Structure 1
Amino acid sequence: MNWLRAEPPSSRTQAHVIFLHQSFLHFIRNRAGVVASLLVMTMIGASIAAPLLVSLDPEAQNLSQRLAYPSTSHWLGTDELGRDVLSRLLYGGRITFTILATVGIFACTTGLLVGALAGYIGGLLDAILMRATDVIMSFPRLALVLALVSVMNPGIEAAIIAISVTTWPIYARMARADARAVRRTDYIAAVRLLGAGPGRVVLRHVVPMCISNIVIRFSLDAGGIILTVATLGFVGVGVQPPVPEWGTMVSASRGALLQQWWVPIAPGIAICLASAGFNQLGEALRDLLDPTQR
């Protein structure tokens, strides 16, 4: 334990380990953040392990068992076509979290690179890139997502593209602000004096300085992205039946809310828990990664 408290650390490896240890101790003090992280990891883990947790095919229909009450055979009952709700819930989580992860990769990477380049280089490139972000951000996000999906063939790919296109400008704006703040610092000037070109400076020194804020913002946006995916499925332009997806499940069973309440309630609760979990996790990461919050 003394090695983790050494001041100053004797090596770069020791410094990294000490930082990670202190960050972990700081994070576990946030009880809400710990609960949220456990909730999110449990939901993602259950979705990944869906084939091991349930044996019923989420798309298999059995009209003789339609709208069956929860029982030992069907823990959350069956839907209007006799499909097991628990199986569809777990496999639907796979679809939702896959879309969330893919959107995060595309939107965060694009926004990070565009914003870092615009903020560091400035001038005409900055003006062109930022006007492009202004055009996209001038439209209501959900309305633009619905318009883009309607132009394309509804499905998982269309949902990913539409949500990514409307999300990356937010991260570009954040990365640009961070890049403009660090481009005149002494260590950037030292790197340039050593002969590093703009590309190397941006990728090796500016981009790493922007990552923490991007991670925080995406964690906070993840709940909204999950709601957007569910909304697309609910209105029929997102993931298409019979593929299980939480919004589609709510839409298909909304007429049974008063009589067979367990059918739409289960995916509705999953949407709420996932959104709330990611929102609280984002708050905890902001407290952890943002030094102004310490």
Structure 2
Amino acid sequence: MSVFLLRRFATFVLTLVAASVLVFAVLELLPGSAAEVVLGETATPEAVAALETRLGLDRPPLQRYADWAGGLLQGRTATSIAYDTPTAELIAERLRVSLPLAALAMAMTLVLALAAGLYAASRHGRAGDLGVMLATQIGIAVPSFWLAMLLILLFAVQLQWVGAGGFPGWTEDEGGGLGAGLKALLLPALALAAVQAAILARVTRSAVLDVMREDFVRTARAKGLSRRQALLRHVLRNAAIPVLTVAGLQFANLLTGTIVVENVFVLPGLGRLVFQAVANRDLVVVRDVVLLLAALVVAVNFVVDLLYAVVDPRLRHA
């Protein structure tokens, strides 16, 4: 088990290093200068050169990469060009919205997908199965941003149960509270979860049906277990590997793919921060956020690998 963990951790570190090099190199290839964006088109070449020197943009790329990577290893981050604030503070503030949003959307995805997938598999070939497959096909076809606008029209404009956008904060001092914060994230999470739940439900149904055809399931049924008992005791755990794989990818996608939905609901999350940083050509913020998202994706995959070993003991012994 220790060798398994060491290998996975080494893969995690190497992937993160490769991601940092790729992120830095891609941003270096972008045309234009952040100093020109900050000072405007009327700035003189001398003023642009002076600001580039102050921001460290005149140094060689390798030196700037070494300074950036070394600062991150020491817990230091650069200062945002547009906000004049350390990127760590900006990112930490926005993560207070994006992480709960992704977690809530993933919880909805798991509940809806597992319930629908198990229901469809237990009624294979019957009306219930066909109904679930039709619903999931529609869910896959509907874009998240379009569903988000429909949810706003229904629940915010027509029924007026929730606000159309914005985030009140997690504390009463910020003008909100835990209940108000969760209420503000409910519709965005549902818009994100709908497509993911449709995909995961189909994967769950397929995995459960494959396991139900195995000999050990027929043996369990022959010993007197009902279809429901065999499904919950034997089938579900053996079908968990493909479900975990897709669920891990989906959670990573929810962490990195909330830009459009956050802008629809005007949520001050990471997606909106990246959108504003790109518009301001604040590449310091873009670079740190993209690397953080890459680290989160790799970390999620690392956790999924560990869950594989928990679900399937053969992987630990191998």
Which residue among 292, 296, 315 is the counterpart of 1:274? 296
Cα distance in 2 between the residues matched to 1:36 and 1:170:
30
Which residue of 1 is the match for residue 105 of structure 2?
Answer: 103
1:172-227 deviation line (CA, Å, top 9, x unaligned): 11111122122233332333344433333332222222222111112222332223
Which residue of 2 is the match for residue 240 of structure 1?
Answer: 267
TM-fit CA distance, 1:228: 2.0
Change (3 A) 1:87 1:164: same
TM-fit CA distance, 1:157: 2.1
Which residue among 130, 133, 137 is the counterpart of 1:134? 137
Query: Any conservation in 2 of the 1:192–1:201 contact (CA below 8 Å)?
Result: yes
Instruction: State the TM-score, normalizing by the size of structure 2.
Output: 0.59
2:264 alignment partner, SS class? coil
Question: Which residues in structure 2 correspond to 1:1-80 (within 5 Å)?
Answer: 21=1, 24-30=2-8, 33-35=11-13, 75-77=77-79, 80=82
1:154-187 deviation line (CA, Å, top 9, x unaligned): 3522221111111111111111112212223333
Which residue among 229, 251, 256 is the counterpart of 2:258? 229
Question: Which residues in structure 2 correspond to 1:119-268 (within 5 Å)?
Answer: 119-122=121-124, 123-139=126-142, 141-148=143-150, 150-151=152-153, 153-154=164-165, 155-233=184-262, 236-238=263-265, 240-241=267-268, 245-257=269-281, 261-268=283-290
2:78 alignment partner, SS class? coil
Which residue of 1 is the match for residue 30 of structure 2?
Answer: none
1:99-136 deviation line (CA, Å, top 9, x unaligned): 22222222123212321221233122211111111121
Cα distance in 2 between the residues matched to 1:280 and 1:25:
17
Percent of pairs with identical residues: 16
Q: Which amino acid aligns with 2:196?
A: T
Cα distance in 2 between the residues matched to 1:76 and 1:147:
36
Q: Which amino acid aligns with 2:194?
A: V
Change (3 A) 1:188 1:144: farther
TM-fit CA distance, 1:144: 4.2
Cα distance in 1 between the residues matched to 2:234 and 2:116:
15
Deviates more, 1:209-218 or 1:195-204: 195-204
Change (3 A) 1:229 1:145: farther
Question: Which residues in structure 2 correspond to 1:79-90 (within 5 Å)?
Answer: 80=82, 85-90=87-92
1:70-93 deviation line (CA, Å, top 9, x unaligned): 99xx95325756655322212323
Task: Name the structure, 1 or 2, with higher relative contact order (CA <8 Å, separation 6+).
Answer: 2
Change (3 A) 1:247 1:36: farther
Which residue of 2 is the match for residue 5 of structure 1?
Answer: none
Change (3 A) 1:143 1:189: same
Query: Any conservation in 1 of the 2:145–2:191 contact (CA below 8 Å)?
Result: no
Query: Any conservation in 1 of the 2:145–2:264 contact (CA below 8 Å)?
Result: no
Instruction: State the TM-score, normalizing by the size of structure 1.
Output: 0.63
Query: Any conservation in 2 of the 1:117–1:202 contact (CA below 8 Å)?
Result: no
Which residue of 1 is the match for residue 94 of structure 2?
Answer: 92
Give aligned pairs, total: 232
Change (3 A) 1:214 1:184: closer
Which residue of 2 is the match for residue 58 of structure 1?
Answer: none
Query: Any conservation in 2 of the 1:247–1:267 contact (CA below 8 Å)?
Result: no
Which ranges in structure 1 are unaligned for 5 or more consecutive residues? 1-20, 40-67
